[in-house]
Amino acid sequence: MIVAGTDTGVGKTVFATALASALGAEYWKPIQAGLEGATDSETVADLGGLHGERIHAEAYRLATAASPHRAAELDGLEIDPARLQLPPHQRPLVIELAGGLMVPLTRSVLQIDVVAEWRLPVVLVARTSLGTINHSLLSIEALRGRGVEIAGIAFVGEENADSEEIIAARGRVKRLGRLPVISPLTAAGLASAFAENFVVGDFS
């Protein structure tokens, strides 16, 4: 299952952590852009208690926190989409994308192009703050335009019932739930919040 964000910084790493933990899944971040501080894989491992074979190595680790195509160029390389093949896995696999769906991986390949080739269902993660309706509906249209199955939409943030309702209705997607702000963010708190606000069976 693919975890895609409507934008960068929407909370998809925290959501992916909770999902992978709840499913007993393995986790893969194909492209990590930005190596300052903890990487997303390291965050998932620490926060979700996923270790060893449950965390797959990134295909690309790029130094700069930027669009993957630009981060790769700054590292003196070009991302080869052929390297983004699904890793062998024994459990369910949660794949976290880099930024939004339409970010370029190269000057000619968008991230959503690779998503379409994987032919896996997508959970779209959206913030609840201002701007989410536009970003969410555009992301839904982009996925549908490429024939990608949408498992549903998961919100992250403070409750915004009207925005959540209109996105689900106009986008014709299942509202999976909303992960509230968790402070302090701990493994136990995250697991509890996910269990209270989502149905694990919706992701199988």
> Given this model, what pLDDT does residue 52 score?
85
Query: Which pair of structure tokens corresponds to residue 138?
Result: 């555009």
Which residues does the annotation mark as catalytic? 29
Which residue, among 9, 3, 27, has the nearest Cα to 157 in the 3D structure?
9
Please report, for the domain that includes residue 104, its CATH number. Answer: 3.40.50.300
Angstrom distance (rounded) from CA 126 to CA 152: 11
Contact 11, 154 (CB under 8 A): no
CA–CA separation, 73 vs 100, rounded Å?
19
* 112-143 pLDDT, tens digit each: 999 999 999 999 999 999 999 999 999 999 99
176-197: per-residue pLDDT in tens? 999 999 999 999 999 999 999 9
pLDDT in tens, the chain (204 residues): 999 999 988 999 999 999 999 999 999 999 999 999 899 999 999 999 998 899 999 999 999 999 999 999 999 999 999 999 999 999 999 999 999 999 999 999 999 999 999 999 999 999 999 999 999 999 999 999 999 999 999 999 999 999 999 999 999 999 999 999 999 999 999 999 999 999 999 998
The pTM assigned to this predicted structure is 0.96
Q: Is 12 exposed, middle or buried (0-12, 13-18, 19+ CB in 10 A)?
A: buried
Structural domains counted in the chain: 1
The boundaries of the domain holding residue 143 are: 2-203
* DSSP annotation of 60: E
Phi, psi of 93 (to 5 degrees): -120, 125
| pLDDT at residue 51, rounded to an integer | 85
